[in-house]
């Protein structure tokens, strides 16, 4: 059986059937990562000793008939902001170089307890504060569709480890689009979870009130299984999922502005296929979305600056200047403006929930632009800023509104369709996603 390109669920089923040995599977992924020409730009560090020990334990459970779940023995990667005991966790930053935690992040510990195999830690945007995936301080992973382009961030290595066949699935974080942008640009499924649904204990923070943990996978089934591992819930039942009669709102406000040609074509082609499968799609403008977006500057900037001000003040010269500028933009936000912005956003979230209560989900393009060339972004800080803001714009809507969002590949390379559901409604969203996935196949 060819391992690369298989879904995590398919590999898990093959392990259960005795068709794949977990140790052989893990060694194959480690060997592939060691040999791949782009591995050094994708993995910050491999953890072969841990991976093989976990694989041997999974092998023993398989032989004893005591597997812990459908992904027991499946090898995955972890973004380098999840603490890993005895292994460096540096969050893509020179500030944290050589930082070695004493224990695993709660989600990594939970995944290991469920039998998943940790292959290693993946490169990421510096301190997770950019959506392009460019990091001159460490490494900038390549887009699977264009080796000269950025991969999307900040979970850049997480996405590319899966897209290039160097992990069966990956775990990333999403504060303003950091799971969904790289998933979109590398033709993967990405799930941004509701804030607070998955533990962030032991995760290097950016903006704690927006930080979320989520999987990057090949299929919706994999995303559902990974979520069940990460938060300890039962996996969503995807059987019998259908689009027939489902009502979707196509969000006109903000999300449809300034779309580039390919993202627009991919999105509307996907919408047509959903409608052909029986979905009802209604276009609607929601002005409070624009109001919420206007609050992003003080909310994100102030918290990011407060989180990292001491390090940036002491060692700011170690940072990539455009990322330094993003952090510094929050230092002059007044406390009263920050509090007032949160008070208004809490009201907007309630108003949104009432406005969309009659819809099964809301549709929007995942990204408004395509991944730019790395050389072009490096050469022009203004271009970095404009492309970064556009890449994150649509994704940030879900973070501001406090919603789970699932991105699916449209079939046109590096373009995505996003479905936004109600807060804590991941299971319902995943069922819709499974039906949409079949319609888009």
Question: What pLDDT digit, counting tens, does each position of 59-69 carry?
Answer: 999 999 999 99
343: how many CB neighbours lie within 10 A of its CB? 9
pLDDT (mean) for 342-349: 98
Q: How many domains does the structure of the chain reveal? A: 2
The yes-or-no verdict on residue 108 having pLDDT over 80 is yes
Global pTM reads: 0.98
Share of the chain above pLDDT 90, in %: 99
- The pLDDT tens digits of the residues spanning 242-297 come to 999 999 999 999 999 999 999 999 999 999 999 999 999 999 999 999 999 999 99
Furthest-apart CA atoms within the chain: distance in Å: 61
Identify whether 18 is part of a domain: yes
Contact 110, 230 (CB under 8 A): yes
| Domain boundary pick from 181, 206, 231 | 231
* Domain extent at residue 393: 247-295+320-440
Residues belonging to the active site: 79, 154, 178
Q: CA 53: distance to chain centroid?
A: 27
The pLDDT, as a whole number, for residue 18 is 97
Identify whether 301 is part of a domain: no
CATH, residue 35 = 3.90.1300.10
Q: Are residues 195 and 258 in the same domain?
A: no
| Domain boundary pick from 205, 231, 257 | 231
Show the beta-strand stretches assigned E in 184-275. 189-192, 212-217, 247-251
The pLDDT, as a whole number, for residue 1 is 62
Q: Are residues 143 and 288 in the same domain?
A: no
- The pLDDT tens digits of the residues spanning 155-180 come to 999 999 999 999 999 999 999 999 99
**Which of the four pLDDT bands, split at 50, 70 and 90, describes residue 2?**
confident
Q: Are residues 182 and 257 in the same domain?
A: no
Identify whether 433 is part of a domain: yes
Q: Are residues 226 and 202 in the same domain?
A: yes
CA distance 292 to 208: 18
| Domain boundary pick from 231, 265, 286 | 231
The yes-or-no verdict on residue 320 having pLDDT over 70 is yes
Nearest alpha carbon to residue 213 among 232, 192, 184, 228 = 192
Can you count the helices (H) and strands (E) in the chain?
A: 16, 13
- How does the average pLDDT of the chain come out, rounded? 98
Reading across the β-sheet that carries 43-46, which strands appear in turn?
43-46, 117-122, 75-79, 170-174, 212-217, 189-192, 405-409, 416-420, 361-365, 247-251, 280-284
CA distance 185 to 415: 6
Q: Are residues 197 and 291 in the same domain?
A: no
Q: Are residues 265 and 216 in the same domain?
A: no
Q: Are residues 143 and 291 in the same domain?
A: no
Identify whether 387 is part of a domain: yes
Tokens at residue 314, please?
A: 């002491």
Q: Are residues 225 and 252 in the same domain?
A: no
pLDDT (mean) for 217-240: 97
Residue with the two structure tokens 């027939």: 244
130 — phi, psi (to 5°)?
-170, 150
Q: Rg of the Cα trace of the chain?
A: 20
Share of the chain above pLDDT 70, in %: 100
Tokens at residue 263, please?
A: 């993202």
Query: Which residues sit opposite 284 in a β-bridge?
Result: 251
Q: Are residues 137 and 280 in the same domain?
A: no
Identify whether 304 is part of a domain: no
Q: Are residues 368 and 262 in the same domain?
A: yes
pLDDT (mean) for 407-426: 98
């Amino acid at each position: 059986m060819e391992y690369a390109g298989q879904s995590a669920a398919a590999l898990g089923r093959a392990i259960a059937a005795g068709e794949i040995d977990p140790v052989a599977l893990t060694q194959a992924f480690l060997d592939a990562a060691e040999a791949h020409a782009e591995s050094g730009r994708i993995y910050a560090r491999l953890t072969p000793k841990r991976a093989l020990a976990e694989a041997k334990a999974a092998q023993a459970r398989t032989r004893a008939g005591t597997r812990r779940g459908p992904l027991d023995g499946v090898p995955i990667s972890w973004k380098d902001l999840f603490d890993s005991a005895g292994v460096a966790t540096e969050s893509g930053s020179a500030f944290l170089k050589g930082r070695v935690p004493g224990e695993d992040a709660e989600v990594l510990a939970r995944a290991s307890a469920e039998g998943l195999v940790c292959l290693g830690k993946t490169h990421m945007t510096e301190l997770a504060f950019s959506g392009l995936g460019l990091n001159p301080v460490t490494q900038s992973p390549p887009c699977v569709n264009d080796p000269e382009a950025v991969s999307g961030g900040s979970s850049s290595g997480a996405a590319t480890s899966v897209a290039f066949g160097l992990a069966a699935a990956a775990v990333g974080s999403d504060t303003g689009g950091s799971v969904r942008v790289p998933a979109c640009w590398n033709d993967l499924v990405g799930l941004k979870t509701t804030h607070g649904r998955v533990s962030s204990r032991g995760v290097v923070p950016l903006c704690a009130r927006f930080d979320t943990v989520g999987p990057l996978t090949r299929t919706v089934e994999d995303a559902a299984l990974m979520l069940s591992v990460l938060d300890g819930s039962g996996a969503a039942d995807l059987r019998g999922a259908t689009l027939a009669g489902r009502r979707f709102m196509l969000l006109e406000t903000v999300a449809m502005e300034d779309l580039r040609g390919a993202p627009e074509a991919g999105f509307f082609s996907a919408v047509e296929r959903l409608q052909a499968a029986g979905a009802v799609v209604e276009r609607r403008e929601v002005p409070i979305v624009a109001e919420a977006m206007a609050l992003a500057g003080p909310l994100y900037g102030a918290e990011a600056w407060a989180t990292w001000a001491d390090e940036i003040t002491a060692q700011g010269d170690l940072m990539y200047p455009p990322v330094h500028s993003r952090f510094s933009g929050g230092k002059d936000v007044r406390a009263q403006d920050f509090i007032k912005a949160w008070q208004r956003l809490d009201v907007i979230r309630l108003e949104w929930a009432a406005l969309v209560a009659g819809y099964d989900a809301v549709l929007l393009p995942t990204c408004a632009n395509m991944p730019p060339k790395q050389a072009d972004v490096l050469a022009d800080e203004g271009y970095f800023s404009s492309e970064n803001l556009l890449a994150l714009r649509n994704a940030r809507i879900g973070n501001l509104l406090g919603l789970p969002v699932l991105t699916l590949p449209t079939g046109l390379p590096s373009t995505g369709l996003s479905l936004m559901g109600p807060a804590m409604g991941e299971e319902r969203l995943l069922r819709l996603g499974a039906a949409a996935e079949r319609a888009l196949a």
